[in-house]
Amino acid sequence: MRLLLVEDEIDIQSFLRTSLEEAGYQVEAATDGKTAERLAVDCPFDILIVDLGLPDQDGISLILKLRQIGVHAPVLILSARRSVDERVLGLEQGGDDYLTKPFALAELLARLRNLLKRNNPPGSEATKLRVLDLELDLLRREATRAGETLQLTPQEFVLLEYLCRNAGRVVTRSMILDKVWGMRIQPDTNVVDVHIYRLRGKVDGPGQQPLIRTLRGMGYVLKDR
Amino acid sequence: MSSRTGSPKLRSAAWRISLWATLAFACGTLLVFLFLHRFVASDIQRRSDAWLSGEVEVLGDVAERTPKDALYDRVVGEVAELAEKEVPNKDLSESSSNDSVFFLQTGADASLKLWVGAGRGEPYLQAIQAARIFPDQPSDLHVRGFAIPFRVASIRIDDGSSIYLGLSERDESRVLRNLSIRFFLFWLLLVLFGFAIVFFTTRRMLTHVREITEAASRIGHSDLTARVPTTKRNDEVSHLALTLNRMLDRIESSMHQLHTITDSLAHDLRSPLTAIRGKLEISLPAFPQAEKAEPIVSAIEELDRLTDFLNKSLDVAEAKADALRLNRVPVDLDELLKIMIDLYEPSMSEKGLQVSLHSAGPLIVEADAALLHRMIANLFDNELKHSPSARSTSLRLRVEGQSALFVLEDDGPGFDPEVLPHLFERRVKGRESNGHGLGLAFVDAVARAHRGTVTASNREEGGARITVTIPLNSL
């Protein structure tokens, strides 16, 4: 996966490069719009990360310019601005995504995966998800653990489905709020933890291997090993 | 009249101005007409008096010179009848006009000597004797049976008899009445015309003022780049528009400056926060043991709290300056509350708090969805954190007037009375609060940005009540 990272802050660029390469991306980096344009024209990328505040031009203008010259790879916009620009929302509807700084790396990686998946949809969506002895029937909205049906509310099922789809990877609280409840909020209270706690009570029965792990300061992970 | 389309206040202003102006105008013209009327009336009177005096002199002459024989009565009578044909102000259409003039001669013994006129002469004679008429001085005479008085001139001739010539004031008063009616109609027309001119001019001017007001209020609440309409006329109203526009220029520029400051502050703080957080995160996997990871984990948590605080502070700061930027879309408050309850219900029931929603179904408002999400989340967080002993929370959602009304009530201890008046100010928090005191200030900020309101009170039956209104649409 070839990724073009356009970010003028060297500090941010360097840690992003490290973690993106760790996640298996082949990273090219640019610190301004001009360089980014040149790189994008020279060789095709699968995905782009563009910071909105570039020294020589606006990130949005760069994206629009790239679209004009035929670069159609999905873009993840990074914004340190306060309000989400209407134009960013426009791009989001056009298939791109945005993330406000500061962000959790897990969320950045998840959004990149989503963008890539959106652009290369698989032929047919699986109707069943399986993680170790946990099985989710997406059509009948039923979950079983070691053959025993779990009594889940519809919301709990959606939450578990999201964890299963990201099995083995960290999901943060804000990712859960965004994907399960459709809101970008930062509650002052531990509302998500209580949901996870309840779900764990149903999924991880007594004597069973605990599947849902909490990673403090990061989020949760559904163990797949 | 199209004044129904105008706002009642301005309409009444136009009415008021026009009414006062018209009143002054009407009084002035009425005085002028009254003066004219008096002038004409006295002129008519003078003319008929002159005719009477002239005729009575002629008749006296004739009576004196005519021999006092059997033909005397006929000759004088003929002359008197001739004189009657030259009555001034005579209405020609009226055929029986001979009752408007009478001729009466009394002998030296004041008995009726000769009578020319309609009916019998006695009532006239009685009236003349009762009224005491002086020669050479026409005066009014009221004869029994006649509503309108006669103007009578008299002359005494040498043989001791008196001659009286009377002219009914009927024709004179008819002329004057006609004149009055014409004057009145003309005056009414003039006043109505004046009123119409004043009213339409005022209304036109006030319509422009209203347009300016409407545009200004639209600008005040949504689009600071727009300007009020100006005209090419160089009058006070267009000066007002120009002044308003100049003021808006300055407001826009200071608003822009505020945005620039908060944006660059956010940017300058967020970039290092991002770098620090990222570095902390990539250093995490190097410490598999929990104890060693602990400082990093808590540093990340601190950073997240700091970020949240920064965001809310800037939002509240912008909102206090009425400068919060909104991205309005249709939002279903009913659906939003259901999702929020779904999200918060487990946390609330953990604390033994029952939550119920009373809503009449979908309620769409034009609002910034992200801000509304955060506002409701703040209210719920507040409820979770600050109502330690509440057992139930009820949410009610309904439309009231042009706004959505959202009421949150609980049966807890209610707000601290000391804190209540300052609840929506920055950094005000209850004694047991562990937050940064921005939650309710943020709720207030979002409601204000949408031109809504937030009020907090303690219920009479105990417990807290927070009422939020959000206008249904942005206009």
Residues B162 and B59 in one domain: yes
Tell me what pLDDT residue B114 has.
81
* Average pLDDT of every residue of chain A: 87
Please indicate, yes or no, whether residues B382 and B348 belong to a single structural domain of this protein: yes
Query: Residue B189 falls within a domain, yes or no?
Result: no
pLDDT of residue A17: 93
B10 pLDDT higher than 70: no
Interface predicted TM-score of the whole assembly (ipTM), two decimals = 0.84
B309 shares its domain with B380: no
What pLDDT shows up at residue B257? 87
Residue where a domain terminates, one of A61, A95, A119 = A119
Strands A75-79 and A97-100: parallel
pLDDT score of B437: 65
Of A119, A152, A185, which residue constitutes the final position of a domain?
A119
Average per-residue pLDDT in chain B? 82
Q: Can you tell me the mean pLDDT for B177-200?
A: 90
Q: Which of residues 146-175 of A touch B (CB under 8 A)?
A: 155
The count of domains in chain B is 3
- pLDDT, tens digit, 9 for 90 and up, residues B38-52: 998 899 888 888 888
Evaluate whether A49 touches A76 at the Cβ level (below 8 Å). Answer: yes
Instruction: Check residue B151 and give its pLDDT.
Output: 86
Grade residue A124 by pLDDT with cuts at 50, 70 and 90.
low
Please provide the DSSP assignment of B251-286 as one string. Answer: HHHHHHHHHHHHHHHHHHHHHHHHHHHHHHHHHGGG
Long-range CB contacts (within 8 A, 24+) of A90-99:
A91/A60, A91/A63, A95/A119, A96/A63
Please tell me whether residues A93 and A165 are part of one structural domain.
no
**Claim to verify: residue B112 and residue B48 sit in the same structural domain:** yes
- Tell which of B132, B149, B175 closes a domain: B175
Judge if B332 and B305 occupy the same domain: no
Enter the tokens of residue B2.
């199209």
How far apart are alpha carbons B390 and A88 in whole angstroms?
Answer: 42
d(CA B108, CA B162): 7
**What pLDDT is recorded for position B3?**
41
Contact (CB, 8 A) for B131 and B142:
yes
Does A149 lie in the same domain as A89? no
Which residues lie across from B150 on neighbouring strands? B141, B168
Strand partners, B448: none
pLDDT score of B88: 66
Contacts of B315 in chain A (CB under 8 A): 82
- Same domain as B363, residue B313: no
pLDDT at B475: 59
Is B104 inside a domain boundary? yes
CA distance B79 to B73: 10
Distance CA B470, CA B448 (A): 9
Q: Is the pLDDT of residue A3 over 90?
A: yes
Q: What is the pLDDT of residue B4?
A: 44
Scan residues 12-31 of A and list those with Cβ closer than 8 Å to B: 12, 15-16, 18-19, 22
How many domains are contained in chain A? Answer: 2
Judged by CB atoms closer than 8 Å, whether chains meet at A84 and B327 is answered as: yes
CATH number of the domain that residue B42 is part of: 3.30.450.20
Percent of chain B surpassing pLDDT 70: 89
CA distance linking residue B150 with residue B169, whole number of Å? 6
Query: How many residues does the structure list for chain A?
Result: 225
B372: tokens are 């509304």
Query: Helix, strand or coil for residue B220?
Result: helix
Write the CATH number for B435: 3.30.565.10
Q: Answer yes or no: are the C-beta atoms of A14 and A31 closer than 8 Å.
A: no
Looking at residue B391, its amino acid is: R
Q: Which of A223, A110, A192, A164 is nearest to B343 (CA)?
A: A192
Closest chain A residue to B436, measured at CA: A188
Same-domain status, B351 and B464? yes
**What is the rounded CA–CA span in Å between residue B170 and residue B100?**
7
**What proportion of chain B, given as a percentage, has pLDDT over 90?**
17
Give the CATH number, domain containing residue A152.
1.10.10.10
At B372 the pLDDT is 92
Q: Which residues of B155-165 are buried (b: 16+ CB within 10 A; e: fewer)?
A: bebeeebbbbb
Report pLDDT for B426. 63
Helix (H) / strand (E) element for B133: namely none
A9 and A115 housed in the same domain: yes
Return the amino acid letter for B449. Answer: A
Identity of the residue in B273, B293, B339 whose CB atom sits nearest the CB atom of A102: B273
Domain of residue A50: give its range. Answer: 2-119
* Exposure string for A41-69, b = 16+ CB within 10 A, e = fewer: eeeebbbbbbbbbbeeeebbebbeebeee
B270–A102: do the CB atoms touch at under 8 Å?
yes
CA B313: distance to chain centroid? 43
- B83 & B154 share domain: yes
Is B158 contained in some domain?
yes
Q: Which token pair is B323?
A: 């400068």
Among B281, B307, B374, the residue to mutate for chain A (most A Cβ within 10 A): B281
**Identity of the amino acid at B392:** S
pLDDT at residue B174 greater than cutoff 90: no
Model confidence at A157: pLDDT above 90: yes
Q: What is the pLDDT of residue B2?
A: 41
Q: Which residues contact B436 (CB under 8 A, 6 or more apart)?
A: B309, B312, B427, B429
Q: Is it the case that residue B1 has pLDDT exceeding 70?
A: no
Instruction: Give the one of B266, B315, B347 whose C-beta lies nearest to A189's C-beta.
Output: B347
- What is the domain-level CATH number for residue B316? 1.10.287
Are A66 and A170 within one domain? no
Mark whether A132 and A114 lie in a shared domain. no
Give the helix ranges, DSSP H, for B351-449. Answer: 369-386, 439-449
Is the confidence at residue A54, as pLDDT, over 80? Answer: yes
B198 lies in some domain: no
Using alpha carbons, select from B404, B412, B444, B413 the residue that is nearest to residue B428.
B444
Joined together, the tokens standing for residue B280 give 């902390």
Task: Decide if B101 contacts B168 (C-beta within 8 A).
Answer: yes
pLDDT score of B85 more than 50:
yes
A43-52, A211-220, B75-84, range with greatest mean pLDDT = A43-52
Q: What is the pLDDT of residue B407?
A: 94
In which domain, by residue range, is B54 found?
2-89+98-175
Write down which residue in A61, A93, A119 finishes a domain: A119
